[in-house]
């Protein structure tokens, strides 16, 4: 068995090659596993057109589950073991910090909605617009829920797994790597947030997701724990899933309003103030720990 940190002294270039290799192999294996399960155990009606083929929505959810694990979670965990990368799994935060994170995510919605509305005004070429419409249609099918089982499945697929996997890759690995290479934590947050948004391949959602990536990046920087952006990412996605559930869909009109500049400005100021408050809470906790030591 290869011992932990076996590749820790290798060059950065070789480490990137190792990570790409792990992602490729893991993605191939998990995809084959997903297709095998779908082919031999499930026979769903294929009613959704995706990537030139017809799938059932259940098959797509199965593929999404294994893809997310195979591309984001398994390779990063293996990479951290082989290179002795510290992913900063720290659980020493207080309940007050989690409540502040919830407040930051909830109060960020008006600002993100305003950015989204501006983003939609950008004229896209025909091919990009067509791709965007297909992606939107697929998302609507994906998020349909008629039972608590559907709600639970979507919370796992859309909230839990992406929160863990994407934060491990974009904050735990990329942001930390950019920070070391550039010697600038703020540029590292911007670059990793750019890649975080770009990889989703949604043109009309690029800038709001870019801002969300920056917000998650600063939560990671302030807390020093990957668990904080994972929790924030989960809260963000889980709220979207929950309010898309059949029992809550009638209340969607509460948030279905046109966001004004004043709403966005208030939202942005609230985010900054809560981040500052979170920074002070974390700082006091760390100082208290030092004094006890």
- What pLDDT score was predicted for residue 281? 92
- What pLDDT score was predicted for residue 68? 92
**Nearest partner of 157 among 72, 76, 229, 68, judged by Cα:** 68
Output the CA–CA distances (angstroms, integers) from residue 59 to 62, 160, 244, in the order listed. Answer: 5, 19, 21
> What pLDDT digit, counting tens, does each position of 114-146 carry?
999 999 888 888 877 887 887 787 777 778 888
Q: What is the mean pLDDT of residues 173-184?
A: 94
Portion of the chain with pLDDT greater than 70, in percent: 89
CB 275 within 8 A of CB 112: no
pLDDT > 60? residue 3: yes
Q: Three-state SS string across the chain, please? A: CCCCCCCCCCCHHHHHHHHHHHHHHHHHHHHHHHHHHHHHHCCCCCCEEECCEEECHHHHHHHHHHHHHHHHHHHHHHHHHHHCCCCCCCCCCCHHHHHHHHHHHHHHHHHHHHHHHHHHCCCCCHHHHHHHHHHHHHHHHHHCCCCHHHHHHHHHHHHHHHHHHHHHHHHHHHHHHHHHHHCCHHHHHHHHHHHHHHCCCCHHHHHHHHHHHHHHHHHHHHHCCCHHHHHHHHHHHHHHHHCCCCCCHHHHHHCCCCCCHHHHHHHHHHHHHHHHHHHHHHHHHHHHHHHHC
CA atoms within 13 A on the CB side of 48: 19
For the record, the structure tokens of 33 come out as 């596993």
- What pLDDT score was predicted for residue 236? 96
* Integer Cα distance of 57 and 60 in angstroms: 5
CB 207 within 8 A of CB 119: yes
CB 175 within 8 A of CB 217: yes
- What pLDDT score was predicted for residue 51? 52
Residue 251 banded pLDDT, cuts 50, 70, 90: low
Residue scoring higher pLDDT (101 or 37): 101
* Integer Cα distance of 100 and 222 in angstroms: 13
For the record, the structure tokens of 220 come out as 């990671």
- What pLDDT score was predicted for residue 254? 46
- What pLDDT score was predicted for residue 137? 79
- What pLDDT score was predicted for residue 37? 82
For the record, the structure tokens of 216 come out as 């998650």
CA atoms within 13 A on the CB side of 134: 13
> What pLDDT digit, counting tens, does each position of 182-214 carry?
999 999 999 999 999 999 888 888 999 999 999
């Amino acid at each position: 068995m290869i011992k932990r940190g076996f590749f820790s002294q290798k060059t950065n270039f070789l480490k990137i090659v190792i990570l790409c290799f792990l992602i490729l192999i893991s993605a191939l294996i998990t995809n084959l596993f997903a297709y095998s399960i779908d082919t031999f155990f499930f026979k769903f009606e294929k009613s959704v057109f995706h990537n030139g083929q017809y799938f059932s929505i259940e098959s797509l959810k199965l593929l999404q589950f294994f893809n997310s694990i195979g591309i984001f979670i398994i390779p990063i965990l293996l990479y951290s073991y082989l290179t002795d990368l510290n992913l900063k799994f720290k659980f020493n935060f207080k309940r007050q910090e989690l409540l502040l994170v919830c407040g930051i995510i909830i109060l960020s919605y008006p600002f993100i909605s305003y950015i989204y509305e501006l983003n939609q005004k950008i004229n896209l070429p025909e091919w990009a617009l067509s791709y965007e419409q297909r992606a939107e249609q697929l998302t609507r099918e994906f998020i349909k829920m008629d039972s608590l089982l559907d709600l639970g499945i979507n919370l796992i697929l859309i909230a839990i797994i992406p929160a863990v996997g994407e934060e491990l890759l974009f904050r735990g690995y990329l942001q930390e790597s950019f920070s070391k290479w550039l010697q600038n934590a703020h540029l590292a947050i911007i670059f990793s947030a750019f890649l975080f948004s770009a990889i989703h391949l949604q043109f009309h959602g690029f800038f709001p997701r870019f801002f969300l990536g920056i917000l998650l990046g600063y939560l990671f920087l302030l807390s020093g724990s990957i668990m904080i952006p994972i929790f924030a990412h989960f809260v963000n996605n889980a709220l979207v899933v929950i309010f898309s559930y059949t029992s809550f869909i009638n209340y969607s009109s509460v948030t279905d309003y046109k966001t004004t500049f004043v709403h966005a400005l208030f939202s942005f100021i609230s985010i900054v103030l809560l981040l500052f408050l979170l920074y002070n809470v974390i700082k006091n906790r760390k100082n208290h720990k030092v004094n006890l030591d």
